[in-house]
Amino acid sequence: MHWRDIVLPIVAGVVMIGYWLQPADAKTTMFIAGELPAGNLTSTLVLVTFVLIFCWVASSVIYLVATLKMLRTYRSRLRTFYSNLDDRELRWLDWFVASLIILWIVAAFSFVAENTGLERLVFEELVYGLIACFLLFIIAFASIVPPQADTDEGAGSDGVPDARYARSALTTEHAEQLASRIKAAMEKDALYLDPNLSLQKLLSHTGALPNQISQTLNEQIGSTFFDYIAHHRIEAAKPLLREGAASTLTVSLDVGFNSRSTFYKAFKRETGMTPKAFRDATIQ
């Protein structure tokens, strides 16, 4: 948490205390009659409250954008650790963010409308209903724990050596040997056929350390863990597609993908065409 993250809550807390310390008749005038009592302190509190409402609208937009950026970073890091992502990308977070944005739009409009004389356009039941649905959503998914990743991993997905490799004890000769073991695990042992293959399983198979595997994949092989495994699965799928006997779903599961959609995306990214188009082209 940054210091700037607590500025608005602190100001709001001070304003809340200010209201609480007001005389009972002033509170009745403000909150029951809806009128502004006399006095500079009360006027200041109301003015600051009005400003805070619009500050909340602006700051909540910033936090929403920051949340989306963090989710994008999280999903890109998953490619370093897992060979299949469908059950790890936490797609429910997309719905979470979408509902959060809808709730924000409705709440922001309500706050602004109530303070600019447009309260007739506000349906309070809608706001309360959305808040209730949002809270139920949180309760339903709050216990889900995201997959843990080793934060010492330093493999860059763009092929550029990570600065954290600067002090690595992995020599060029050792990296080449490790690259050979990784390739043997794919080509001879067909480790890619395991749909639950993860970086940890590859570590156990090759007897290497996490940062060594990442550095070798990044610098010697020039690929992320996810893309490297997907490449071998796609190469294994090509002859099965050429035969034309099995369905695309069967082929995708046989070579280690855990869904047809993941297979389609990876195949098109690798070859520039869909599995069906590849099959039709090769059969003809």
Could you state, in order of their start, the residue ranges of all structural domains in the chain?
169-283
What is residue 124's predicted lDDT score, i.e. its pLDDT? Answer: 66
For residue range 131-149, list pLDDT tens digits in order.
777 777 766 665 555 544 4
For residue range 163-194, list pLDDT tens digits in order.
444 445 567 788 888 888 888 989 888 999 99
Return the structure tokens found at 69.
Answer: 């950026």
Question: What kind of architecture, by CATH, is found in domain 169-283?
Answer: Orthogonal Bundle (1.10)
User: Looking at the predicted structure, is the pLDDT value of residue 158 above 50?
Assistant: no
CB 209 within 8 Å of CB 237: no
User: Looking at the predicted structure, is the pLDDT value of residue 234 above 90?
Assistant: yes
What is residue 177's predicted lDDT score, i.e. its pLDDT? Answer: 86
What is residue 120's predicted lDDT score, i.e. its pLDDT? Answer: 64
For residue range 191-214, list pLDDT tens digits in order.
999 988 888 888 888 888 777 887
Report the amino acid identity of residue 154.
Answer: G
Lowest-pLDDT range, 48-57, 126-135, 230-239? 126-135
pTM greater than 0.85? no
CB 202 within 8 Å of CB 191: yes
CA–CA separation, 65 and 79 (whole Å): 22
Task: Give the Å distances, CA to CA, from 162 to 71, 159, 184, 200.
Answer: 21, 9, 25, 20
Q: Scanning the structure block, which residue is given the tokens 């090759």? A: 206
User: Looking at the predicted structure, is the pLDDT value of residue 94 above 80?
Assistant: no
Q: What is the DSSP string of the chain?
A: --GGGGHHHHHHHHHHHHHHTS-HHHHIIIIIS--PPSSHHHHHHHHHHHHHHHHHHHHHHHHHHHHHHHHHHHHHHHTTTBS--TTTS-THHHHHHHHHHHHHHHHHHHHHHHTTT-GGG--HHHHHHHHHHHHHHHHHHTTPPPPP--TT----TTSPPPGGGTT----HHHHHHHHHHHHHHHHTS-GGG-TT-BHHHHHHHHT--HHHHHHIIIIII-S-HHHHHHHHHHHHHHHHHHH--S-HHHHHHHTT-S-HHHHHHHHHHHHSS-HHHHHHHHH-
User: Looking at the predicted structure, is the pLDDT value of residue 48 above 60?
Assistant: yes
- The per-residue pLDDT of the chain, averaged, comes to 78
CA–CA separation, 284 and 265 (whole Å): 23
Task: Give the Å distances, CA to CA, from 47 to 57, 146, 176, 187, 223.
Answer: 16, 43, 68, 70, 57
Mean pLDDT of 58-81: 81
User: Looking at the predicted structure, is the pLDDT value of residue 233 above 90?
Assistant: yes
What is residue 142's predicted lDDT score, i.e. its pLDDT? Answer: 56
Position 223 confidence tier, pLDDT thresholds 50, 70, 90 = confident
What is residue 145's predicted lDDT score, i.e. its pLDDT? Answer: 53
What is residue 157's predicted lDDT score, i.e. its pLDDT? Answer: 39
What is residue 152's predicted lDDT score, i.e. its pLDDT? Answer: 43
